């Protein structure tokens, strides 16, 4: 009898000096729920890095062309076609991507999610948090949202089109309800 692989292997990296708003175990659980809900293959690997504004600003400038910090960035390694389709998703994204392959016996690495804990603190405490950018709530709740949001982006979800944004926001809220004690 073979034992199925765990849902997802998540490595949590906490940069020095970054405040701990959630335990590493809680961070893993939040991200695992998000990527599982998005249809990530069992046994997949993900890295979550909790960082600060300077690192996110540098990454945002390098990869997105925006010279400012952001709250979360995702760096997916698999194409959107590696995951089940979801409401509002551009069908062209599923057709354009080349098939992916993982070496036999190896779990796929989905990619990396990097969150600015500085942004989570500032947005939550300044009333610029939540999905609408006008919520004042606990910084831990904002961090849960950012981890969830980043995990969904990792798995091909986006919010550029209204239908997909509505579906993404609905799923985020469902996952946050499950994750909030």
Write b or e for each residue in 64-90: b if 16 or more Cβ atoms lie within 10 A of its Cβ, otherwise e.
eeeeebbbbbbbbebebbbbeebebbe
List the chain domain ranges.
8-75+105-179
- Determine what percent of the chain is predicted with pLDDT higher than 90: 71
Are the beta carbons of 31 and 46 closer than 8 angstroms? yes
pLDDT tens digit sequence for 20-37: 999 999 999 999 999 999
- Bridge partner residues of 13 (DSSP): 49
Give the separation between CA 87 and CA 79, rounded to whole angstroms: 17
Q: How do residues 93-110 score in pLDDT, each as one tens digit?
A: 766 555 566 777 778 899
Please give the Cα distance from 85 to 39 (Å, whole number): 9
Taking only the tens place, the pLDDT of each residue in 59-76 is 999 999 999 999 999 999
Please tell me the predicted confidence (pLDDT) of residue 53. Answer: 97
Domain 8-75+105-179, second-level architecture: 3-Layer(aba) Sandwich (3.40)
Separation of alpha carbons 81 and 48, rounded Å: 22
């Amino acid at each position: 009898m073979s034992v199925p692989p765990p849902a997802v292997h998540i490595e949590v990296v906490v940069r020095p000096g970054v405040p701990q708003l959630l335990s590493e175990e809680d961070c893993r659980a939040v991200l695992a729920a998000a990527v599982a809900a998005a249809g990530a293959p069992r046994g997949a690997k993900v890295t979550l890095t909790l960082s600060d504004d300077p690192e996110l600003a540098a990454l945002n400038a390098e990869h997105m062309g925006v010279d400012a910090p952001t709250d979360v960035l995702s760096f997916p390694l698999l194409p959107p076609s590696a995951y089940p389709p979801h409401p509002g998703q551009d069908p062209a994204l599923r057709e354009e991507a080349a098939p992916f392959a993982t070496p036999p016996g190896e779990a796929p690495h989905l990619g990396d999610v990097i969150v600015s804990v500085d942004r989570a603190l500032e947005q939550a405490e300044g009333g610029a948090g939540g999905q609408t950018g006008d919520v004042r709530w606990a910084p831990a709740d904002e961090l849960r949202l950012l981890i969830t949001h980043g995990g969904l982006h990792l798995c091909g979800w986006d919010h550029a089109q209204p239908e997909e944004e509505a579906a993404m926001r609905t799923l985020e809220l469902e996952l946050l309800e499950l994750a909030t004690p």
